[in-house]
Each structure stands twice: as structure tokens, then as C-alpha cells.
């Protein structure tokens, strides 16, 4: 180790690696990963969230999974919950939609209304 | 870089390893593979979480769900339910037995709520065998700061102002120790780490070394820079194989990263650390005994002065600090003296780690701010006494310490208050005793330990503790006289003032403190020839009440030494001269006719 910069570089890289274990007081992104969700393609959705968060160095959000919400026809379902417990439910998600949720909602705080449960028309 | 959505931390401390955690992680890895999750879930072996009573322990992030008493058969359920479907396996959560809505986040449980983890901050959170995880949590930042921004005097001042006192037991101010060694000029100085944790029941140093070995290396390098030393030694017990292995890995990694060795951070500062293994003698935890042992001699203490800061290891100025003391240093450097001195109480700053054991529900490792009361440790964090028994006393400081009786349970835990009530902080063993513990027997147990561990160099300790032990044995066998209690006092006082080292000087403490708070129990043994708790077998008698006995002969049939005799339908009698006091008769009697006392 020849310089502090070198130490800092290792730190930044390693920090991203263990970010997950810090206590979460930011946003929680919850992906429905029951059989219905997985069958509808929840796994690539979740992987996209994880990758985007890491790629963009987002530190205030964590991705977790949950079971079936009961609205299996709308899967993959993703819920975003903030510190105060306010919940936004996104339905019929895809990897592409996940990227938009990250850029608009997670980074810029703008809810992507057209993907939410209220926007679904039968 | 591989990105994982979940990390599973499996405890790899000695406690959980003993209850099978290494098998669990193998099983977990295999099971993840089977379900194609190996690229999504990372398995990390970490150090002690502290809740050893509930081991083996596993924590799943990001939820922070803490699974307790995990068996190999539970792994499949954790993988299929939690890691695949995101449903937390509630039945395995900590504290599930008595909570209707179990906490999913371990930090929120009673066991952790009142704790403050500074020395243990990385234990159970990072992989101790990976230096990068330590660096990610500000590791080696303090060393960088010290080497590039601070003079040795600055470091001493920060340490003095922070008010950190030695965590090995005596509580000597760390800053003072460093300033003495710094002031002494010599061609060579040494930095030593005391990891020869010898108190029965104490295991906080082991857990720090197992869970966060780099913190000790970093702090030793800081100490080396401060006093002007380029060589460190860690003296660790050979009975701690996992700690030794992780230290070896840590030293190797630190050297590879250039955080130990030559020209650290390009500042021209060199520092190297070597491990010395101790063979497990209690006296080698005493500072001069430890240094004698590192030098390759038989571990015996030597008179002080000269103090180690003047003439220590190889007759050179040396500082020796305990593992837990070092574990506090990097954070003090980074966060400042004011931050540290704001924690704890007026005279004792910071936190203290206790290994809580004995008659308590949550056996394990807890770290509390100084000044927390014993009641909070026993009832709030420790979960109270099992089986509805009453709290009788707590023993701190191991064979050098004393008892805190129930009447003083609201005493704040600090160096000075503990000494005032006749105990001491010690290295941090805290043994809880319930109403079934005989205090005379307890004193005898600790004396037995010091008799065995006395190195024999000075007569007060070699002969004195032996005589005290003989008197205690006599009392527990019902052969004691009142003059024995006076003899115990005078022996204890003589040993305290005349023994050569800390081991001898503190050896009478368990006797003195039990005499102080539980003299009536001694008197019961001596005068009434009774052990009030029924622990001392020689004083115990099982008796058959002839009025309740119906003469069924069940007791006689179950007596392993056939000392109960009688005629059917007539009261039976126990032959006291043959009775071995096993209690089998009392357990079998259906009429409550047999009593002990």
C-alpha cells in the first residue's frame, strides 16, 4: 500500500459489495417471488433491480423478495416502500420497466404512474 | 464484480462451530447450487454474533433475519422458503418461543436493543478472512490518518482525552501507558497484545480475534507509530485454534496489501506483527509473565518496577494492551476523543464487552455502555434467570474478582464502582448465579483454580492459596470451626499485600467478597453444619419422615448403594454412613416422605 488513495479505492469497491448488510432506512424494493411471480418472469425483473442499483451506486435502496400478494394475474409485482411506509405497487413488470422505475422513481423520486396497479385496465 | 441480492452470514465463532455451523454452510452452499441460486446469494462465514446460547446462528440480509439453533435439516426450508420465495422462516427466528409476532430484524430484539457494539462492531457483520470487507467498514483508515496527519504526540493526546482504560481488567489509562513508553528512548521498542484470555468463562477476546482480527493489527500499528516501535507480538492461547488461524490469515493479507511491513502508505513507517502461542498458563496473562514467556523462558512474573514501559520485552520499553482495548483504538482515532468520552459514565468511558454465562437465559457476548446497571444486563439483555429461579449474585472478574449480591443489582457497571463493592471489572466474565448456588462452594471453586494456576515463584501465593483452599474444603465438609473464618481473613489480607503479581494479589478476592456478602452461609456451614443450598454433599442428609412413609420399599429398591432398609408397611430408614447423597430415593418417593437438608 503506497498511498491513501489506494486504500480508498479498495474501500469503495468493497463497500458496494457489503452495502446490502447495512441497516436499511431508505427505500425497499420488494419483488413478488412466489410461484406465480417467478412463472410470470419475476426473476429477471429482480436481477435487473439488483444490477441497476449496483451499477448506479444507489445506496438508499435494497431489493428483497416476498411471496404471493394474491393478484397473480398482475405478476410480476414489485412494491416500493419508503421510510414512512408509503407504498407504490407496480404490476406486470419487465426488465425494461424495472430500469425506468429505477431512473424515475428510485433516483428522481417520480412515481411511474403508468406501471402502477391503478393504471391497469381490464 | 459479482452482484448478489442476498448475503447469508453464518457464524464461524468457536461457540457456533462447536454446535455444527461449518457443516451448515457446506450444506447451504450445496442447497443453493441445487436451486441455481449460487450467483444470487452469497454465503459469508463471519465472527460471533454474541447470542451463543441460541447457536448455530445465521443472518440473512438485506432483511437482517436472524435464524437461531439452525439444524442441517432446516437448511432446505431456509433456501426454498426464504431465499427462493422471500418468505421468512418464522419458526427459526430469535426469540420466537415467547413472542407472538417475532422480530424479523435481529437488531430489534431485546438482546441487541440495549447493547452498543463498538469493540464488536464488525463481529458477525464481516467476513474475518477477507481484508477488503474490513477496509469497506473504514478499516485501516485510522492508520492512514495517524501516519499522514498526526504526530505521535497527537495520538497520545487523543487517547488521553478519550479516556480509554485497559479492558484486560486493571483499567489503567491507555493513553498514559503509551505516553510513558513513548517518552523512554531506546534503539528498539515493542508493542504487545495480550490475547491470553484465561478467566474461566471469558471469551470476548477470542470472539474479537475470530470476528475482526484486522482491528487488532491496525491498532497495534497505530501504537507502534505512537511509541516508536516497528515490531509487534500477539500472545494468544494455543487453545484458540480458530482465532490463531484467522490472525495468521489477517497478518498475511495485511502484508500483501502493504498495510504491515515496510514503508506503510509511503510514509517510511515500518511495522511487523508476529504471533506467539501460549500453552495456557493463567499466569502468562499477567504482563511480566507474558513477556517472560515471549522471551522463551518459563512463564513467571517478575517484580515491578521496572515497569514494562521502561524495561519490558527483551529489556526494552514495551506496551502491552488487551485485545478489546485495541479494538476500540481505530474508532477513537477516526471519530475523535469527544465522541468516545461522551459514551459511558463519568469515570469509565466507552463500552465493555461481557461474556455472560451461568444461570441466565441468553448466554453469550454482550457489549454495553459503561454505567449500565447489572439489572439491565441480567434481565433486559440476558433475558433473566431460567426456570423461574431467583437471582442470587453475579460474579465478575473471574478468579480475581468478586460477587455482586442481589441487593446491589442496581449498581452501575464501571471500574470504580465495582472495586468499591469488592469486585472488579476483570476481563469481562460475568457469571450469573441463582438461589441454588452455594457461595462457599463457589469461593472454593475459584481458589482451586488459583491453586492450580499459581506459578509457585512467590510463597504467599504458592502456600497461602493452598492453605485457604484447605480451610474452605474443611468448611464444606462440615469440619470447620469459627476460628477458620478468622484465619481466612488474615491469610487473604496477607496474600493481597505480599504476593508478587496480580494473580496472587487478587486470588483472595472471591473469598473476601463472599465473606462480605454471604457470611451467614459460611456460619451455617461451620456452626449448623448445614449447606443452605444443598450443594455441599458432605453436609447433606436425606431423611425419611416416619409419619409420611407407608413402607412401600420403592426407595430401597432404587438406592444404588442399598443403604435403605426396613420392613414392608413399616417406615424405612436410611443408613447415613453409607448414603452417597445421590437423591434417587427422594426422586422416586411418591408420598413426599423423603427430605434433604
Greater confidence (A113 vs B179) lies with B179
Half-sphere exposure of A109 (CA within 13 A, CB side): 4
Alpha-carbon distance of B311 to B290, in angstroms, equals 14
- Residues contacting B236, CB < 8 A, separation 6+: B195, B196, B209, B243, B244, B247, B275, B276, B277, B278
- Which of B216, B19, B21, B232 lies closest to B128, judged by CA? B216
Q: Are residues B176 and B296 in the same domain?
A: yes
Q: Is residue B123 situated within a structural domain?
A: no
Q: Is the ipTM value over 0.85, yes or no?
A: no
- Residues contacting A85, CB < 8 A, separation 6+: none
Greater confidence (B231 vs A27) lies with B231
Question: Within a 10 A sphere around the Cβ of B315, how many other Cβ atoms?
Answer: 13
The answer to whether the Cβ–Cβ distance between B132 and A10 falls below 8 Å is yes
User: Residue B45: what are its φ and ψ, rounded to 5°?
Assistant: -90, 125
> Contact B300/B458 with Cβ under 8 angstroms?
no
Beta strands B429-434 and B351-358: pairing type?
Answer: parallel
Q: Is residue B120 situated within a structural domain?
A: no
Q: What pLDDT does residue A62 have?
A: 83
Q: Are residues B172 and B303 in the same domain?
A: yes
Nearest to A65 among B85, B139, B140 (CB): B85
Interface probe with B: pick from A3, A17, A76, most Cβ of B within 10 Å? A17
Alpha-carbon distance of B541 to A49, in angstroms, equals 72
Q: Is residue B331 situated within a structural domain?
A: yes
Nearest chain A residue to B268, by CA: A2
pLDDT for A3 beyond 90: no
> Contact B114/B381 with Cβ under 8 angstroms?
yes
- Report the gap between the CA of A51 and the closest CA in chain B (Å): 7
Alpha-carbon distance of B597 to B580, in angstroms, equals 14
Q: Is B70 helix (H, G, I), strand (E, B) or coil?
A: coil
Predicted confidence band of residue A56 (pLDDT cuts 50, 70, 90): confident
Question: Within a 10 A sphere around the Cβ of B244, how many other Cβ atoms?
Answer: 20
Nearest chain B residue to A43, by CA: B84
CB of B9 within 8 Å of any CB in chain A?
A: yes
Distances (CA, A) of B439 to B350, B382, B402, B434, B475: 32, 22, 11, 11, 12
> Contact B9/B46 with Cβ under 8 angstroms?
yes
> What is the DSSP track for B85-153?
H----GGGBTTGGG-SS--SSGGGSHHHHT---STTTTTTTS-TT-HHHHHHTTTTHHHHHHHHH--HH
Q: What pLDDT does residue B99 have?
A: 39
The answer to whether the Cβ–Cβ distance between A11 and B257 falls below 8 Å is no
Alpha-carbon distance of B361 to B391, in angstroms, equals 12
Domain limit, last residue, from B402, B434, B466: B434
Distances (CA, A) of A69 to A78, A91, B18, B77, B148: 10, 11, 41, 21, 55
Q: What's the structural domain count of chain B?
A: 5
Q: Is residue B117 situated within a structural domain?
A: no
Q: What pLDDT does residue B363 have?
A: 86
Q: Is B306 helix (H, G, I), strand (E, B) or coil?
A: coil
The answer to whether the Cβ–Cβ distance between B85 and A31 falls below 8 Å is no
Which tens digit of pLDDT belongs to each residue from B130-151?
999 999 999 999 999 999 999 9
Q: Is residue B429 situated within a structural domain?
A: yes
Q: Is A36 helix (H, G, I), strand (E, B) or coil?
A: helix
Predicted confidence band of residue A122 (pLDDT cuts 50, 70, 90): low
- Which of A50, A103, A45, A53 lies closest to A75, judged by CA? A45
Q: What pLDDT does residue B465 have?
A: 96
Q: Are residues B356 and B284 in the same domain?
A: no
Q: Are residues B267 and B190 in the same domain?
A: yes
Q: Are residues B175 and B321 in the same domain?
A: yes
CB of B6 within 8 Å of any CB in chain A?
A: yes
Domain limit, last residue, from B434, B458, B483: B434
Averaged pLDDT, groups of 10, chain B, 597 residues long: 82 88 92 89 89 88 87 92 85 61 60 89 89 94 96 97 92 96 96 93 90 96 97 95 94 96 95 95 94 95 93 96 97 96 94 93 91 94 91 92 94 93 89 94 95 95 96 94 96 95 94 95 94 88 91 92 92 91 90 87
CATH class for the domain made up of A23-119: alpha beta
The answer to whether the Cβ–Cβ distance between A3 and B258 falls below 8 Å is no
Range of the domain at B491: 439-526
Give chain B positions within 8 Å (CB) of A63.
5, 62
> Contact B581/B561 with Cβ under 8 angstroms?
no
Greater confidence (B242 vs A23) lies with B242
> Contact B315/B164 with Cβ under 8 angstroms?
no
Domain limit, last residue, from B312, B340, B368: B340
Q: Is residue B80 situated within a structural domain?
A: yes
- Residues contacting B27, CB < 8 A, separation 6+: B72, B75
CATH number at residue B242: 3.40.50.11540
Q: Is residue B221 situated within a structural domain?
A: yes
Nearest chain B residue to A64, by CA: B62
Greater confidence (B342 vs A13) lies with B342
Q: Is residue B321 situated within a structural domain?
A: yes
Nearest chain B residue to A13, by CA: B136
B156-161 CB contacts, 8 Å cutoff, 24+ apart: B156/B182, B156/B226, B157/B337, B158/B332, B158/B333, B158/B336, B158/B337, B159/B226, B159/B329, B159/B332, B159/B337, B160/B337, B161/B337, B161/B338, B161/B341
Give the residue numbers in A contacting B (CB under 8 Å), as ranges. Answer: 1-4, 7, 10-11, 13-18, 20-21, 23-24, 30-35, 46-47, 50-51, 54, 62-67
- Does the global pTM surpass 0.90? no
Q: What pLDDT does residue B101 have?
A: 43
Q: Are residues B324 and B221 in the same domain?
A: yes
B495-499 CB contacts, 8 Å cutoff, 24+ apart: B495/B460, B495/B461, B495/B464, B495/B465, B495/B468, B498/B458, B498/B460, B499/B458, B499/B460, B499/B461, B499/B464
Q: Are residues B453 and B513 in the same domain?
A: yes
The answer to whether the Cβ–Cβ distance between B136 and A66 falls below 8 Å is no
Strand order in the sheet with B65-67: B41-46, B6-11, B58-61, B65-67
Could you tell me where the beta strands, DSSP code E, fall in B190-258?
A: 190-195, 231-237
| Pairs of CB atoms within 8 A across A/B | 92
Nearest to A14 among B3, B40, B133 (CB): B133
Nearest chain B residue to A29, by CA: B62
Nearest chain A residue to B4, by CA: A50
Q: Are residues B90 and B194 in the same domain?
A: no
CATH number at residue B509: 1.20.1440.230
Distances (CA, A) of B6 to B41, B44, B374: 5, 11, 38
pLDDT for A34 beyond 90: no
Give chain B positions within 8 Å (CB) of A2.
258, 263, 265-266
Q: Are residues B445 and B504 in the same domain?
A: yes
> Contact B524/B531 with Cβ under 8 angstroms?
yes
Q: What pLDDT does residue B97 have?
A: 45
Q: What pLDDT does residue A121 have?
A: 65
Buried b or exposed e, range B157-187, using 16+ CB within 10 angstroms: ebbbbbbbbbbbbbbebbbebbbbbbebebe
- Residues contacting A109, CB < 8 A, separation 6+: none
Nearest to A46 among B5, B136, B258 (CB): B5
The three state secondary structure string of B440-489 is: HHHHHHHHHHHHHHCCCCCHHHHHHHHHHHHHHHHHHCCCCCHHHHHHHH
Q: Are residues B239 and B366 in the same domain?
A: no
Amino acid at each position: 500500500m503506497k498511498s491513501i488513495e489506494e486504500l480508498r479505492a479498495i474501500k469503495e469497491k468493497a463497500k458496494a459489495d457489503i452495502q446490502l448488510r447495512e441497516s436499511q432506512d431508505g427505500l425497499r424494493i420488494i419483488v413478488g417471488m412466489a410461484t406465480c411471480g417467478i412463472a410470470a418472469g419475476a426473476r429477471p425483473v429482480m436481477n435487473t433491480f439488483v444490477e441497476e442499483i449496483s451499477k448506479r451506486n444507489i445506496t438508499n435502496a435494497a431489493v428483497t423478495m416476498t411471496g404471493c400478494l394474491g393478484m397473480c394475474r398482475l405478476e410480476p409485482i414489485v412494491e416500493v416502500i419508503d421510510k414512512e411506509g408509503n407504498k407504490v405497487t407496480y404490476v406486470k413488470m419487465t426488465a425494461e420497466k424495472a430500469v425506468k422505475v429505477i431512473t424515475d422513481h428510485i433516483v428522481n423520486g417520480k412515481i411511474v404512474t403508468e406501471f402502477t396497479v391503478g393504471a391497469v385496465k381490464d | 464484480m459479482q452482484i448478489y441480492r442476498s448475503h447469508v452470514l453464518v457464524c464461524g465463532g468457536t461457540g457456533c462451530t462447536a454446535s455444527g455451523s461449518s457443516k451448515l454452510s457446506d450444506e447451504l452452499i450445496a442447497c443453493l447450487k441445487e436451486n441455481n441460486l449460487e450467483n444470487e446469494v452469497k454465503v459469508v462465514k463471519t465472527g460471533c454474533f454474541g447470542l451463543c446460547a441460541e447457536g448455530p446462528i445465521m443472518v440473512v440480509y438485506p432483511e437482517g433475519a436472524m435464524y437461531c439453533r439452525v439444524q442441517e435439516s432446516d437448511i432446505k426450508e431456509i433456501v426454498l422458503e426464504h431465499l427462493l420465495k422471500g418468505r421468512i422462516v418464522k419458526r427459526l427466528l430469535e426469540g420466537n418461543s415467547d413472542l407472538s409476532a417475532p422480530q424479523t430484524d435481529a437488531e430489534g430484539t431485546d438482546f441487541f436493543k440495549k447493547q452498543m457494539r463498538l469493540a464488536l462492531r464488525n463481529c458477525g457483520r464481516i467476513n474475518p478472512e477477507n481484508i477488503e470487507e474490513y477496509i469497506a467498514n473504514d478499516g485501516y483508515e485510522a492508520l492512514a490518518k495517524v501516519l499522514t496527519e498526526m504526530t505521535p504526540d497527537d495520538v497520545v493526546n487523543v487517547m488521553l482525552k478519550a479516556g480509554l482504560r485497559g479492558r484486560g481488567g486493571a483499567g489503567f489509562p491507555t493513553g498514559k501507558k503509551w505516553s510513558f513508553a513513548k517518552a523512554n528512548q531506546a534503539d528498539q521498542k515493542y508493542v504487545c497484545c495480550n490475547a491470553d484470555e484465561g478467566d474461566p468463562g471469558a471469551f470476548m477476546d477470542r470472539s474479537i480475534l475470530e470476528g475482526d482480527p484486522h482491528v487488532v493489527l491496525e491498532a497495534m500499528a497505530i501504537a507502534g507509530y505512537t511509541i516508536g516501535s516497528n515490531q509487534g507480538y500477539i500472545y494468544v492461547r494455543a487453545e484458540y485454534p480458530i482465532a490463531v488461524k484467522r490472525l495468521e490469515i489477517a497478518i498475511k493479507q495485511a502484508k500483501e496489501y502493504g498495510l504491515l511491513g515496510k514503508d506503510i502508505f509511503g510514509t517510511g513507517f515500518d511495522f511487523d506483527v508476529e504471533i506467539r502461542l501460549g500453552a495456557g498458563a493463567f499466569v502468562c496473562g499477567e504482563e511480566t509473565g507474558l513477556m517472560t514467556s515471549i522471551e522463551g523462558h518459563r512463564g513467571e512474573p517478575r517484580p515491578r518496577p521496572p515497569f514494562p514501559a521502561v524495561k519490558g520485552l527483551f529489556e526494552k520499553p514495551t506496551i502491552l494492551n488487551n485485545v478489546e482495548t485495541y479494538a476500540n483504538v481505530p474508532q477513537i482515532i477516526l471519530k475523535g476523543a469527544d465522541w468516545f468520552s461522551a459514551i459511558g459514565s463519568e469515570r469509565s468511558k466507552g463500552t465493555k464487552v461481557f461474556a455472560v454465562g451461568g444461570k441466565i437465559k441468553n448466554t453469550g457476548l454482550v457489549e454495553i455502555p459503561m454505567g449500565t446497571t447489572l439489572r439491565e444486563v441480567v434481565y433486559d439483555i440476558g433475558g433473566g434467570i431460567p426456570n423461574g429461579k431467583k437471582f442470587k449474585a453475579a460474579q465478575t472478574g473471574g478468579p480475581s474478582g468478586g460477587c455482586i449480591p442481589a441487593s446491589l443489582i442496581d449498581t452501575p457497571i464501571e471500574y470504580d464502582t465495582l472495586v468499591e463493592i469488592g469486585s472488579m471489572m476483570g476481563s469481562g466474565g460475568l457469571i450469573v448465579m441463582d438461589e441454588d448456588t452455594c457461595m462457599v462452594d463457589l469461593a472454593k471453586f475459584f481458589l482451586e483454580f488459583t491453586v492450580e494456576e499459581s506459578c509457585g515463584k512467590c510463597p504467599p501465593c504458592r502456600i497461602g492459596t493452598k492453605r485457604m483452599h484447605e480451610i474452605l474444603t474443611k468448611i464444606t465438609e462440615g469440619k470447620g470451626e469459627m476460628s477458620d473464618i478468622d484465619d481466612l481473613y488474615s491469610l487473604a489480607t496477607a496474600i493481597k499485600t505480599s504476593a508478587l503479581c496480580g494473580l496472587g494479589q487478587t486470588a483472595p478476592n472471591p473469598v473476601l467478597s463472599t465473606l462480605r456478602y454471604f457470611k451467614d452461609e459460611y456460619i451455617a456451614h461451620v456452626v449448623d453444619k448445614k449447606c443452605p443450598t444443598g450443594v455441599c454433599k458432605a453436609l447433606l442428609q436425606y431423611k425419611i419422615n416416619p409419619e409420611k412413609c407407608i413402607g412401600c420399599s420403592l426407595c430401597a429398591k432404587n438406592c444404588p448403594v442399598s443403604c435403605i432398609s426396613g420392613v414392608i408397611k413399616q417406615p424405612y430408614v436410611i443408613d447415613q454412613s453409607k448414603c452417597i447423597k445421590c437423591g434417587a430415593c427422594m426422586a422416586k418417593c411418591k408420598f413426599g416422605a423423603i427430605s434433604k437438608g
